Amino acid sequence: MKEYRLTQEGLKMLQSELDDLVKNKRKEVAERLRESKEFGGDLTENPEYEHAKNDQAFIEGRIEQISEILQNYIIVENEIKGRIDLGAVVILKDMDDKKEKKFKIVSSIESDPEKNKISDESPVGKALLNKIAGDTITVKTPVTTKTYKIIDIS
């Protein structure tokens, strides 16, 4: 059985999402299914019914996925101070353009690049694990090779 590494913040996010799916989204899609059936006719030719069935399948799959994670997780926070692990906030200096970037290292489940939350399984995340402030890392991505200096870890 797979064990899922989460931050405390990620755990709360998943619990909240599961609660919303079970209490709200299930009911909403059930109501849409009921309403689309009321129009009568052949359901296979009813696009609203098909769309609602697809949404229902997605919701039920997501509920199952989150339930699996919540039954098999461990909380990991940056326990070894000064070393990068899940939960660490890292300031990096791009050695090409000299700009600083701030990231939080999270599990792949919690990853959200738009919010500067990068996965510990991403190329940058992997390269940062167990490093300390002052270290330099070189990361190969599908597009380029980047070099970063670790400025700060919190």
Q: What is the pLDDT of residues 34-44, one digit of tens each?
A: 988 887 666 66
Give 48 or 29, the one with higher predicted confidence. 29
Class of domain 89-153: alpha beta
Give me the amino acid identity at 66: I
- The pLDDT tens digits for 52-73 are 999 999 999 999 999 999 999 9
Please state the domain extents for the chain: 4-75, 89-153
Distant-in-sequence, close-in-space partners of 125: CB < 8 Å, separation ≥ 6: 105, 118, 119
Indicate the burial class of 63 (C-beta count within 10 angstroms; 0-12, 13-18, 19 or more): middle
The whole-model pTM stands at: 0.78
Identical fold between 4-75 and 89-153: no
Count the neighbouring beta carbons within 10 Å of the beta carbon of residue 14: 20
Fold of the CATH domain 4-75: Helix Hairpins (1.10.287)
Which residue is associated with the tokens 């995340």?
Answer: 125
Rg (CA), the chain: 21
Taking residues 108-128, report their average pLDDT: 95
State how far the Cα of 76 lies from the Cα of 124, in Å rounded to an integer: 19
Beta strands in the chain (DSSP E): 4-6, 73-75, 89-94, 100-106, 117-119, 136-140, 145-153
Residue 80 scores a pLDDT above 70: no
The pLDDT assigned to 141 comes to 79
pLDDT score, position 82:
82
> Is the Cβ–Cβ distance between 119 and 106 less than 8 Å?
yes
- pLDDT tens readout for residues 91-110: 999 999 999 999 999 999 99
φ, ψ dihedrals at 133, nearest 5°: -60, 135
